[in-house]
Structure 1
């Protein structure tokens, strides 16, 4: 059944369209990051931390990379005053990476500069955007299965 779905023309077209959206997202994200003298990886970590402080291991899990890679990225962000390390209130042995005020402001500027989907999404009705969101959530939820 899965093999048939992989060869289904509709599924292949959807995959191509998703690939196009993802490629465009990464292109604009990397461009926005470079405008702030950040790498794409640094910008992704900063954006993730702007949602909530977290330990290196959890950042690595979220970004699907090695914790040692995250340590280097956080070191560079910390050197620029965008991130700080602080003890986890729940377990003082654990260090959390957290954005500074400057880091939060930079993350907001990054988010605001990602225009690629705003115009196409604005052309969809609220119901269409809701449907798209719901379908994408279902897909993301299946990643954990």
Structure 2
């Protein structure tokens, strides 16, 4: 567990600092990261980020005001609003990722073979298949 604690601490500290350089909170940055996967309903965002729905509304309101996301009706249920990442939002999350200097330097210090091994181990440890099959 120590390895996980140290690695997550470095990663989230680096992410938070990079988000702050974009004048975003860590929660706003995480929201953009989730939306990078595709549009999501407010309820789904709140669940994914383990956030109260009222907090999620405030986060989305601030991101929308900056033009980083927009709300649009869900194609399947017009009563539901999906949150969609705008091109400006994509640029913001790309910039955050590019400015995660500690994380990027740590990964760059590994050989290509070590990077491939790390990726394979993380994929094995954190994919649904690994959890279901017990491998």
For normalisation by structure 2, the TM-score amounts to 0.83
Quote how far apart the aligned CAs of 1:43 are: 1.0
What is the rounded CA distance, in whole Å, between the counterparts of 2:86 and 2:41 in structure 1?
15
Quote how far apart the aligned CAs of 1:74 are: 0.5
Q: Give the aligned partner of residue 23 of structure 1.
A: 9
Structure 2 unaligned regions, length at least 5: none
1:66 to 52, 58, 61: 52
* Bigger RCO of structures 1 and 2 (CA < 8 A, at least 6 apart): 2
- How many residues are treated as equivalent by the alignment? 131
Q: Give the aligned partner of residue 76 of structure 2.
A: 90
What is the rounded CA distance, in whole Å, between the counterparts of 1:28 and 1:68 in structure 2?
27
SS class of match (2:36): helix
CA RMSD of superposed structures (Å)? 2.1
SS class of match (1:85): strand
CA deviations 1:26-66 (Å, max 9, x no partner) are: 11111111111111101110122123111112112221222
**Which aligned pairs between 1:5-84 and structure 2 lie closer than 5 A?**
15-84=1-70
CA deviations 1:56-89 (Å, max 9, x no partner) are: 1211222122222211110111112211100112
What is the rounded CA distance, in whole Å, between the counterparts of 2:109 and 2:96 in structure 1?
23
Quote how far apart the aligned CAs of 1:144 are: 6.7
SS class of match (1:90): coil
For normalisation by structure 1, the TM-score amounts to 0.78
Higher Rg of the two aligned structures: 1
> Contact between 2:71 and 2:82, CA under 8 Å: does it hold in 1?
yes
